[in-house]
Amino acid sequence: MFEAVKQFGKLVKMMTTGDPVERTRRLYQFMPPSFEFVERTTTYCNFGYWNDGVTSLDEAAEEMATKLADAAGMQSGDTVLDLGFGYGDQDFSWLRNRQPKKIHGLNITPHQIEHARNRATKEGVADKLDFQQGSATDIPFPDNTFDRVVALESAFHFYPRSDFFKEAFRVLRPGGVLAVADVLPTNDDVVRKELKSRALSWILISYDEANWYTADTYTKELGEAGFEQARVDSIRDRVWEQYRQFMVNRLASPSYKAKVNSTSYKGMSRNWSDQELLKKELAGIDYVMAVAHKPAE
């Protein structure tokens, strides 16, 4: 009973702030890692890119990180800025596989930053991976600093996203690339506040109305920020249905149920109970890979 009251209190606190940044911070503090990463081998927080044969969220999440790095053209010697890095898994992967000169990360959630810093120190790569607390709409770096700016499933939190685009443009070097894995409505008829599925409640909590627009507007805002060659490509067919099925199977797993506290499990099961409603509403949610270039001098 105490745990249930405690969780309810956290939820009320999360919902009652009018500050979109604070609401997002509270969202990521609400779910304890001991629940979120049960039967996981990584601490990735994205929905995953589910290629044929991929069966685990950890593998799918790594695939999404790889796809984002490919979109950005990330390569050896780059200086990279990762905005909203979560627990930083993708940064460690990119450091191993892409060999950038350095990756700087900005995040607003203290316990995630601490986790990433501790891991970087433990693995002896703190000189290559710099994790800081900071905002994507007020980036604390000089103009023309980075070769690549990336945001892995975090830009819908940035308030507003248009300011993030302007800041990304400012800190990119001429010829630099912005790459973003993001969530959008598929069309203008999808009303954010009318979503009823509890599994999509995160959209109501941490996705500000100012950012709720389609790929066409997304492309336009990139152009208004100064970017050229902007592309916003849907990859939803490799994301939503596969992730939905993964979650259904996860909640049906006796071993998973045995490893989480009963209050958290009951809440998650309730949120995911109406699969028909979820499938209907997911049809109106896009998942995109956006890429844009700062003009070369």
Structural domains counted in the chain:
1
On the question of a cis peptide bond just before residue 160, with omega within 30 degrees of 0, the verdict is yes
Quote the pLDDT of residue 40: 94
Q: Show the tokens assigned to 230.
A: 């902007």
Q: Show the tokens assigned to 141.
A: 């770096």
In a domain, 256, yes or no: no
The domain in which residue 221 lies consists of: 2-242+274-293
In a domain, 265, yes or no: no
Quote the pLDDT of residue 48: 99
In a domain, 185, yes or no: yes
Question: What is the residue-wise DSSP string for 198-211?
Answer: GGGHHHHHHS-GGG
Nearest to 10 by CA among 196, 258, 270, 263: 263
Quote the pLDDT of residue 1: 35
| Rounded distance between C-alpha atoms, residue 71 and residue 279, angstroms | 28
| Rounded distance between C-alpha atoms, residue 77 and residue 62, angstroms | 22
Quote the pLDDT of residue 26: 73
Quote the pLDDT of residue 19: 74
> Is residue 84 within 8 Å of 150, Cβ to Cβ?
no
**Averaged in consecutive runs of 10 residues, what is the pLDDT profile of the chain (297 residues)?**
39 56 68 74 97 97 99 99 98 99 97 96 99 98 99 97 99 99 98 97 92 98 99 99 97 93 90 97 99 96
In a domain, 262, yes or no: no
Quote the pLDDT of residue 14: 47
DSSP label of 15:
H
| Rounded distance between C-alpha atoms, residue 27 and residue 206, angstroms | 7
In a domain, 247, yes or no: no
> Which CATH number goes with the domain that contains 208?
3.40.50.150
In a domain, 220, yes or no: yes
In a domain, 210, yes or no: yes
Angle between helices 262-271 and 2-15 in degrees, nearest 10: 50
In a domain, 126, yes or no: yes
| Rounded distance between C-alpha atoms, residue 143 and residue 122, angstroms | 32
